[in-house]
Structure formats: C-alpha cells, structure tokens
Amino acid sequence: MEKIYRLAPPKKKGIIGLVFSRFSVIVLLILLQAALYVFIFRWLIHLLPFFAAFSVVFTLTMIFYLFNNRMDYSAKLTWMLVIAVFHVPGAIFLLFTQSNLGYRKLVNRENTLVRQTRKAVAQPQDAADALEKDSSGTGAMVRYLNQCGCFPIFHNTQVSYFPVGEKCFEAMLEALASAEKYIFMEYFIVEEGYMWGKILELLVEKAAQGVEVRMMYDGMCEMSTIPPGYYKLLREKGIKAKAFSPIVPVLSSYYNYRDHRKILVIDGKIAFNGGVNLADEYINRVERFGHWKDAAVMLRGDAVKSFTLMFLQMWNIDEKEPEFDRWLTDTQDLPANTDGFVCPYGDSPMDGNKVGETVYMDILGRANDYVHIMTPYLILDGELESALRYAAGRGVDVKLILPGIPDKKAAYALAKSHYKRLISSGVEIYEYTPGFVHAKVFVSDDCKATVGSINLDYRSLYHHFECATYLYQTACIPEIEADFQDALSKCRRVTLKTIKEEKIYYKISGCLLKFIAPLM
C-alpha cells in the first residue's frame, strides 16, 4: 500500500462536534424553557396569568420584528413557528443568529476589503463591447455582477471541464508541480488521506523551493476532519496557513457563515473551481455513499485574476497590511484562439445580494430550449421554486439530477418535499442510482453554464461564502451537456407514481422538516 503523507494521526470523531453544534444549542434552550415552566408551576403558580400575558405580548413583539426583518419570507415563517412554540428559547436563538456575536468585526472587515477592491481587476473593454451586441442577456447579468462586486467577464481564457473528481485531481497535481511563484488554496473540507497527502507532498516541496504557498480551510474542519490548530502543523512545513472562522463553541454565531468555496490558483495562470474538496471520497478513493459524482473546471488566462482576488479578499480579513496589487499583474502566456466568455463570481452572506441564486434564476428566466441541473441538495425558497416551475411551464426542458444515495437523510427528505409541485409543473427530476451527486452544475441552450460550489439550498444561497464560474459560448459547454446526459443515463426518473410509493419515513419527515428548512 502506498504511504500517505500525514501531519497528524487520523481524526477520531467523538461527541465534541455534537456537543457544540446548532442542534445542541437549540436543545439546551428548550430544556432551559422546560425548566423555567416547571419552576413557575411549582413555585409561582399564582403568577401564571401574568406569565401567560407576557408570552402573548412577547410572541407578538417578535412576530412584528420578523415582519420588518430583511430575511427571506420562508425563513420568517420558520422563525414565527419556532417562537410561537418555544417563546423564549426561540427568540434567544433568533437574536443569537442575527447578532453576529463574535463575528461583527469580521463582517465589517470583509465588507471593507470588498469595497476597497471593487476595481482591482479591470473589465476588458472588448469583452464588454461584444456582449453589448449580444441578445442573450449575458451583458445585463455581468453588469449586475459588477454592481455586486468585482466580477468582470473575459474573452481570452481557456476552460477545461472535469466530469469527476479523479480527473480534476490529476490536473491539480500536474498544475501544482509546475508552480514557480505562488500557490493559493481555499477549501471547505480538508481531510488527511491519499488525495490531500499527495497534494501536501507537493506543497511542502514547493515551499522548500521558495514558492509562496498559502492554504486556507474552513474552521469547521477542526471539529470533523482534522485536529484543532492544524494550520500550525502546516506552518511548520513552510506553508502559510490559516483556518477561516475557527469555531468558538456556543459563544459565537460562526456556525452560519462558513467558507464553502473551492479555489486553487497557481502563479496567476491557472485556477481550479468546482465542487471537489480535498478528501478521498471526492476522487472515489474511498466509498461513502456509492459513486461520488462531482464536477470542476480549470481556467487558463485572464479570468484567473478574479479567483486570485477572491482568495486574497478572504485571506486578508485578519491581516493588518493587506496586499493585492502584486498578485494581480497581467497574466503571462495567455492561451491563443479561445472562444466564448468566462466570468468567475463570488457570493457573500454579508452584502445582502443573493448573487448565486440570482445567476441561477437568470439562466432559468432566459432559457429557450433547456436548463439541465446537477445538485446534491434541493431545499428551495419560494422564488427559486417559482423560477423552476415557470421555466418548465413556458416549455423549457428543465431537468434536475439529484443523489440516489443521500449523504444526509434530512436533506434528502426535504428535497423530496419539493418533488410533487415541481413535477406537476413539468420539471423532470432524476436520482443518480450509482451514488451521490455532489456536482453543482447548470447548463442551458448549448451556450451557457455555471460550475462551482453553490448548492440549491439555504446554506449555500443565504449563509455561506461561495464561488462559481459562469461560461458563455465557451468550447467546453458541449462537454458539460454530454456529462449531464451520461449521468442521466444512470438515473431513475421520479414520477408522481414513484412519489406515492415513497417510504412513509421520507413523506412524514420531509413535511415536518419543511417548517425548519431555512435553519438547516
């Protein structure tokens, strides 16, 4: 067996993650309320009418607050239910998540950095002019993206599409081996094993050669896949490393705003983006939920600068003297004879713009022939569900591929709760029988596609830092559609008949969980 490069012993999954999870916080607050009720009934029975009046006034006050809050209406209904049933703990948990306790400084810093770098990457005028003459609506969408952040669209960028994590991994190793100046990595999940071990060997080797190597992973990893303070072990090997928002148990609202991005940038020439994290299931080295179907893209050319900027914006959140300019120089060795347009974009939960969802809805709203989607989760708000149903209703071929073997049964049940309404409107839904679909892909009309980290669920669309690559008229789009059709051939179709035959567990749990879907 090939030796795996490790910095720490295998992570033992104990009860620590559960103890300090959102679920535990909710349970604790409910138990506190139960204890309060017991205390009132036993010792303050004569004050019960006053407590009942307080509960009514308190609940009405919280409902008034929610009606005037900017959150999505589905989330408002969920919170109203929570507060109506669990007055005090529900309100406390709402205020806890809304307060950004322990996070406000980070929010302000991130917004400041984005404002300071709004023009750090210039919009190539030839690409903008070409889109002004185009009737696809892509030019209008790019104007929206640049209003939200610095997300130019580029001509001279070559795109390679990877239909599985294994192919992406091979290309990543080759690209990392070619690094001469710097390597920037930002990933949601890192777990020691074959994949990360092979990458880590290269990173240590390149750092020893004088290449600037920076690695940032989401702080939630230290509760699940790697030991606390793992970044210190990386620093000992010459890698500049940090955990994004390390978890502070119970005392912060860090649980919501996770860094779900997957970005690798090499020398400003090559960038990777997609759904592939750095763990062995993503390359089917180990099997967790059957065959793991993922997708990613590799960019070569000017559009790489956008991913460099996205990485630097996150990296510099806690840096006293942020650096941007020296990493955003003109790309060398540009690919020749590239067709189409490429627009990397990010989504932040801090700015009030639902960029990821808006791009998806723009594709659905402008499609003429088809929109084909692969996604691991389907936990929709009203707007996105309406967009899917409207597209199908006006004759667009809307097909979704979801997992046949789920990684989370609650999310699987929630996805099924949308099936009947979508199918009744003409949307076709399929489940990937070999295993789990983790790809986040939209492809439309043989000319548009997005590949990235953005799921069709509340976490991705509202609470996470995300990123994706928008493609228009690029040469790889037929490959993306071919990959969809290949996956489709391995799927079972969901129909109204199969929904009736579904396990009672999923029917009941899906209906019940729908009440709290925005909190999942």
* Sheet of strand 397-403: strand arrangement: 341-347, 466-472, 448-452, 441-444, 370-374, 397-403, 428-432, 491-494
Asked if 339 contacts 154 with a C-beta cutoff of 8 angstroms, the reply is no
pLDDT surpasses 50 at 342? yes
Range with lowest mean pLDDT among 176-180, 213-217, 459-463, 467-471: 459-463
pLDDT surpasses 70 at 251? no
Pairing type for strands 270-274 and 157-162 reads unpaired
* Residue with tokens 């992973």, as numbered in its chain: 217
Asked if 425 contacts 282 with a C-beta cutoff of 8 angstroms, the reply is no
Name which residue leads in pLDDT, 229 or 112: 229
* Residue with tokens 């051939």, as numbered in its chain: 489
**Nearest one of 307, 276, 308, 310 to 293, comparing CA atoms:** 276
- What is the predicted pLDDT for the residue at 335? 63
pLDDT surpasses 70 at 104? no
Q: Which amino acid is at 508?
A: I
| Residues 27-84 pLDDT 10s | 666 677 677 667 666 666 666 676 667 777 777 777 777 777 766 666 776 777 777 7
pLDDT surpasses 70 at 420? yes
* Residue with tokens 């929206």, as numbered in its chain: 144
Give the number of residues written for the chain.
520
| Residues 468-519 pLDDT 10s | 999 999 999 999 999 999 999 999 999 999 999 888 888 787 777 776 666 6
Range with lowest mean pLDDT among 18-32, 46-60, 100-114, 271-285: 18-32
pLDDT surpasses 90 at 439? yes
* Residue with tokens 């088809």, as numbered in its chain: 370
Q: Strand, helix or coil at 481?
A: helix
pLDDT surpasses 50 at 404? yes
Map 39-56 to HEC letters.
HHHHHCHHHHHHHHHHHH
- Work out the average pLDDT over 402-419: 92
- What is the predicted pLDDT for the residue at 497? 95
- What is the predicted pLDDT for the residue at 54? 72
Q: Which two tokens stand for residue 122?
A: 């210039």
Measured in whole angstroms, the distance separating CA 247 from the mean position of its chain's CA atoms is 18
DSSP 8-class letter at 135: S
Range with lowest mean pLDDT among 26-30, 145-149, 164-168: 26-30
> pLDDT band at 450, cuts 50/70/90?
very high
Asked if 59 contacts 83 with a C-beta cutoff of 8 angstroms, the reply is yes
- What is the predicted pLDDT for the residue at 103? 61
User: Does the pTM of the predicted model rise above 0.75?
Assistant: yes
Angstrom distance (rounded) from CA 354 to CA 456:
12
Name which residue leads in pLDDT, 169 or 104: 169
Range with lowest mean pLDDT among 86-90, 301-305, 360-364: 86-90
> pLDDT band at 18, cuts 50/70/90?
very low
Structural domains in the chain, sorted by start: 16-98 (no CATH), 105-343 (3.30.870.10), 355-519 (3.30.870.10)
- What is the predicted pLDDT for the residue at 381? 87
pLDDT surpasses 70 at 223? yes
Range with lowest mean pLDDT among 21-30, 68-77, 387-396: 21-30
Angstrom distance (rounded) from CA 17 to CA 13:
8
pLDDT surpasses 60 at 121? yes
On average, the pLDDT of the chain sits at: 86
